[in-house]
Structure 1
Amino acid sequence: MILLPHQLLGEVLNQRFDKTVRANYFRGMEFAAPVGDPGWLGPGSAVWHVHSHMQALIFGLQCAAFMERLDPSIYWMGMHHSRLVKRDADGNAVPEIDPEGAAVRLGHSVAFFIGTAFGSTETAERLARTVRAMHHTVKGTRPDGARYDADDPEWLRWNYATVVWGLATAHELYHPNPLRGKEIDRYYREFTRVGIALGGTDLPETKAETLECLEAYLPKLAVTHGTAMATGPDLPLPHAALNWAIRDTMPKWAKQLIQHKDPNIFERTARRAMVWSVINALHLVQGPIPEYKQALARVKGGIDPELAPHTMPTYKPGDDPVLSRDEVERMFV
């Protein structure tokens, strides 16, 4: 069979994704079984619709990451605990993104949000346990003396709000069939299932509540050194184009914080059209993700009531065993 150019491109992109992401970060995740298990959310959910568009999902994760690091504590969590930043010969963190570390972070994130959406209930629960275990180890002190703790309910709420906002906003702007109004609010409500499983409490449940939650943190936010270095007009292409598209999604107050100014309506519309074309061209040539197709097949004959205890998470803060950093690292292998 002779492949057309767009089909050939899709094959190349999918093979690359299989090699760099699925082979490394989707190990042990089950999507095809057990038959009749709806997982955490199930077919017909808003989350299934939103997360089935892999390219918009990945863009949304970038938007969330940009927003969340406006919190200085998250910046220092990354500097002290993450492979996301470069390190000098003495092991000290440098406020620059390490490309290899960024790829690892993105791979884990994509696996988590695909696995919790389309994976079996056991797969989703295991992914949540793994992420919680990592959060339990992220505690420390900023250079200004302020303490940070990734299990702090206030931090969890901020982190959750940035993620659900980033994914939903990317969907609204760049999905070919976006949810609107009450339907996008249904996504926000469903997604609390994930936030609660990670230990979140008092989470926003609608778009309006999420935007209000984010803005309420403004007195605690700041442009850190790392954020300042990662934005602005002097970035090289294609980083500058991606960076603009991410900043374009932000609420007005967040744009003011980073001194981002929107272009005129015609230029902004043209830029968004270009981004829409790129994201959806990639989605078109790559086709539906296999995890989505496997999940559909898993529940095609109906949902088994014995396999559907998934309406609310079973985790309560404090339930997890205390693990060392080395033990937690092994959970990701």
Structure 2
Amino acid sequence: MMIFRRVAGPDGRAVRAHIHDMPGPRWFAPDRPVRTVHGDASMFIGGVSALLLQSLHPLAMAAVAAHSGFRGDPWGRLQRTSAFLAVTTYGTAADAQAAVDRVRGIHEQIRGSTPEGQRYHAADPHLLGWVHAAETESFMRAHERFGRDPLDPAGYDAYVADTAVVAEALGVIDPPRDRRTLSRRLAAYRPELRATPEAWGVARFLLLDPPLPLAVRPAYGVLAANAVSLLPSWARRLLRLPRIPLVEDLTVVPAGRLLTRTVRWAMTPARAPEGRPPTSS
């Protein structure tokens, strides 16, 4: 229950009921892969991994550092992000479009410059494309490794196609619609990526100094270690997060699977019908 309250916020139950019980057409049918992936406890690990990967684009990171409240109000930001994922995945088409419109309005206002003088605009389709690709890849990797019911290759292709619907609504131009295209898109961004002091700061914050009580730090440490294990090797090198194969393969990943099963079990009372997202409100 503590996990649900942290992620969903104080009004989580009411928001959840609105998202899932409001009558009306949805963007995604109940059998779509996006519902399977976003409804699994593996999203906790995938979310942290996505933040680490996204931080490697200097312009995207500059926008987050200057305009996001992730340090001052990390749980509030997590609650807003999880609510957006929930409403676009499970909510009515009208509510999903309203959520997208709100985010686009916020993005339009976020402009600035990096310390080196590079201009950024959060509504830039190219930057949005990076954030989308990194997020989709991270959620997919997490589900493939830690999900209760991993999809087959065609299922993950369909998941990428589902996420493209939301990405396009947010302003991404021609988002990837299968896993191979997603991989190529990520590779195309590689020349633009580097670890800035802001990116290292995000890594320290997420991995070493999370805003959590001491009692739950060990469990979070397992989550964070597995989030790192999902990163591509080149991303780990940029963030100075070395891989120790035997330790990861024999201890970190098995502990991550146990933690994910435990979170899934712990949150079952807070979930109604099967398939509702552990990271939604």
Q: 1:40 to 1:205 in 2, by over 3 A?
A: same
Percent of residue pairs identical: 24
Deviation at residue 68 of structure 1 after TM alignment: 0.7
Tell me the residue number matched to 1:22: 12
Q: What TM-score, normalized to structure 1?
A: 0.72
Residue 52 of structure 2 aligns to a residue in which SS? helix
Deviation at residue 266 of structure 1 after TM alignment: 6.0
Distance 1:151 1:164 in 2: 18
Distance 1:252 1:118 in 2: 33
| 1:90-111 deviation line (CA, Å, top 9, x unaligned) | xxxxxxx33xx11111101111
Q: 1:83 to 1:231 in 2, by over 3 A?
A: closer
Deviation at residue 186 of structure 1 after TM alignment: 0.9
Instruction: Report the AA paired with residue 56 of structure 1.
Output: S
> For structure 1, which runs of at least 5 residues remain unmatched after alignment?
1-10, 85-96, 296-333
List aligned pairs for 1:173-322, cutoff 5 A.
Answer: 173-231=145-203, 235=208, 238=218, 240-265=221-246, 267-287=248-268, 290=271
> For structure 2, which runs of at least 5 residues remain unmatched after alignment?
210-216, 277-281
Q: 1:154 to 1:294 in 2, by over 3 A?
A: closer
Rg bigger for which structure? 1
1:116 aligns with 2:79: no
- Mapped contact 1:71–1:221 kept (Cα < 8 A): yes
| 1:50-83 deviation line (CA, Å, top 9, x unaligned) | 1122x32232222111111111112211222111
Residue 21 of structure 2 aligns to a residue in which SS? coil
Tell me the residue number matched to 2:37: 50
- Mapped contact 1:215–1:253 kept (Cα < 8 A): no
Instruction: Report the AA paired with residue 61 of structure 1.
Output: G
| 1:234-275 deviation line (CA, Å, top 9, x unaligned) | 936546544322221011221222233322246424211101
Distance 1:246 1:15 in 2: 22
Question: Which of 59, 62, 69 does residue 73 from structure 1 map onto?
Answer: 59
Residue 20 of structure 2 aligns to a residue in which SS? coil
Compute the RMSD of aligned alpha carbons: 2.6
Deviation at residue 147 of structure 1 after TM alignment: 0.5
Q: What TM-score, normalized to structure 2?
A: 0.84
Distance 1:193 1:291 in 2: 26
Deviation at residue 33 of structure 1 after TM alignment: 2.6
Q: 1:29 to 1:66 in 2, by over 3 A?
A: farther
In terms of fraction of residues, the more helix-rich structure is 2
> Across the two proteins, how many residue pairs are aligned to each other?
266
Question: Which of 43, 48, 51 does residue 62 from structure 1 map onto?
Answer: 48
Q: 1:283 to 1:200 in 2, by over 3 A?
A: same
- Mapped contact 1:32–1:294 kept (Cα < 8 A): no
Distance 2:58 2:6 in 1: 35
| 1:103-141 deviation line (CA, Å, top 9, x unaligned) | 111101111111111111111111111111111111111
Q: 1:121 to 1:45 in 2, by over 3 A?
A: same
- Mapped contact 1:21–1:107 kept (Cα < 8 A): no
